[in-house]
Amino acid sequence: MHPAEALAQQLKPGCGWDQWLADEFRQPYMRQLTEFLAAEEQAGKVLYPPRSHCFNALNSTPLANVSVVILGQDPYHGPGQAHGLSFSVRPDVPLPPSLINIFKEIQQDLSIAPPDHGCLQPWAEQGVLLLNSVLTVEQRNAGAHQGKGWERFTDKVIEVINRERDNLVFLLWGSYAKKKGQHIDRNRHLVLEGPHPSPLSAYRGFFGCRHFSNANQWLERQGKASVNWALPSKAEMIRKYKK
């Protein structure tokens, strides 16, 4: 079995993404990408997230359930952090600075106290697609897998969402996400743009953007369920997501 075929099997059947993305795994770029990943692993390099969580964003948020899309760039490259959702970390590891700032904005916007962990899995299961542009990274080597083909794959994901769904909310933070989402149809979807929540840029307009309340108001106007941005406790999360 070619590595691309093995990787394709990580997409859950019936999630809606498989029918639109199946052809991507047969494209030369994806075969080259998966051969690169296999060679990196054979060379003894540690890659994140684990292969079983590579498509966690797509598997956790079926196409038909997507209501909000939050675009990220790369997975975290520290041990135990990445689990396939943009900005999210496993519940038992320290919060990254950007995620701390996201929680600060939610508190300011919606008066929701910051949680004691950084696992955003409950958001994904409510319809928030937490999609990174690049889906793998080498341990302690940020951006190591940029330009290897993942960007083309996730462009296809965005193309499918843009075309097949209506009245979604896209949250584009920072210049990278804005460029990634430049072809989203603003007549069909609400696109909210702002600075990245990193400590370097959060004070340039991310704080006070009110994207979370604006997203919910938009969804409610479209007759859709709003997102509960509050998260369960760390103890509850660890108990529920032991994998």
The SS3 assignment for 192 reads strand
Q: Which domain holds residue 93?
A: 3-241
The SS3 assignment for 204 reads helix
Is pLDDT of 243 > 60? no
CATH code, domain with 219: 3.40.470.10
Is pLDDT of 172 > 70? yes
Q: Which residues pair with 192 in a beta bridge?
A: 171
pLDDT band at residue 242 under the 50/70/90 scheme: low
Predicted local confidence at residue 208, as pLDDT: 98
pLDDT tens column, 68-117 = 999 999 999 999 999 999 999 999 999 999 999 999 999 999 999 999 99
Strands 128-132 and 137-138: unpaired
pTM, to two decimals: 0.96
Q: Is 206 within 8 Å of 192 (Cβ atoms)?
A: no
Strands 190-194 and 169-173: parallel
Is 185 assigned a catalytic role? no
Predicted local confidence at residue 3, as pLDDT: 85
Predicted local confidence at residue 241, as pLDDT: 76
Of the residues 74, 109, 166, 185, only one is catalytic, namely: 74
What average pLDDT score do residues 168-174 get?
Answer: 98
Place of tokens 């937490």: 130
pLDDT tens column, 177-220 = 999 999 999 999 999 999 999 999 999 999 999 999 999 999 99
Give the count of alpha carbons within 13 A of 39, CB side only: 8
Q: Tokens for 204?
A: 């340039």
Query: Rounded CA gap, 135 and 82, in Å?
Result: 10
Specify the amino acid at residue 198.
S
Query: Rounded CA gap, 134 and 215, in Å?
Result: 25
pLDDT-wise least confident of 27-31, 151-155, 238-242: 238-242
Mean pLDDT, the chain, whole residue set: 95
* Number of domains, the chain: 1
